[in-house]
Amino acid sequence: LIAMMNSTTNVVLYEAPHRIEKLISEIVNIDEEREVFFSKELSKKFQNYYRGSAEKILEQFEQGVINPKGEWVVVISGKKQKAKALYVDDILAFDLQPKVKAKLLAKLTNKSVKEWYSELINV
């Protein structure tokens, strides 16, 4: 389960009713904020859907809002990758031609490419 939770792609599981609450408890222990989607009796007349954070779904199981009986399909959202920020100092440290640096710096700041280029060659 830990390996699946570290994946950046969505994971689909099929779970038996007597193990469903244990599964959601384990998901909460790993990442309580992870988005999950639970579907009971998928493709049947009385199908039900539950979507939210793992912690929220576990609370609904514990409070009896969700009845564990039935066949379950569980979709666990992929782990979100943290966006990496690029700063002016990072670009200045790169071993790039002044023209390329100037274009990158102009996109990050309010200065024009021309201003950055002249500043870079005069340093």
HSE-CB of 2 using CA atoms within 13 angstroms: 2
Calculate the alpha carbon distances from 36 to 4, 23, 49, 79, 104 in Å: 13, 11, 11, 11, 39
Closest to 2 in 3D by CA, of 25, 32, 30:
30
Per-residue confidence of the chain (123 residues) as pLDDT tens digits?
888 888 889 999 999 999 999 999 999 999 988 999 999 988 888 899 999 999 999 999 999 999 999 899 999 999 887 766 778 888 889 999 999 999 999 988 889 999 999 999 987
Which residue, 16, 47, 52, 5, is CA-closest to 33? Answer: 52
What's the CA gap between 74 and 12, in Å, rounded?
A: 6
pTM over 0.75: no
Domains belonging to the chain, first-starting first, are 2-76 (3.30.950.10), 88-121 (no CATH)
Please give the pLDDT value at position 24. Answer: 94
DSSP bridge pairs for 14: 73
User: H helices within 17-112, ranges in order?
Assistant: 20-30, 54-62, 88-93, 98-108
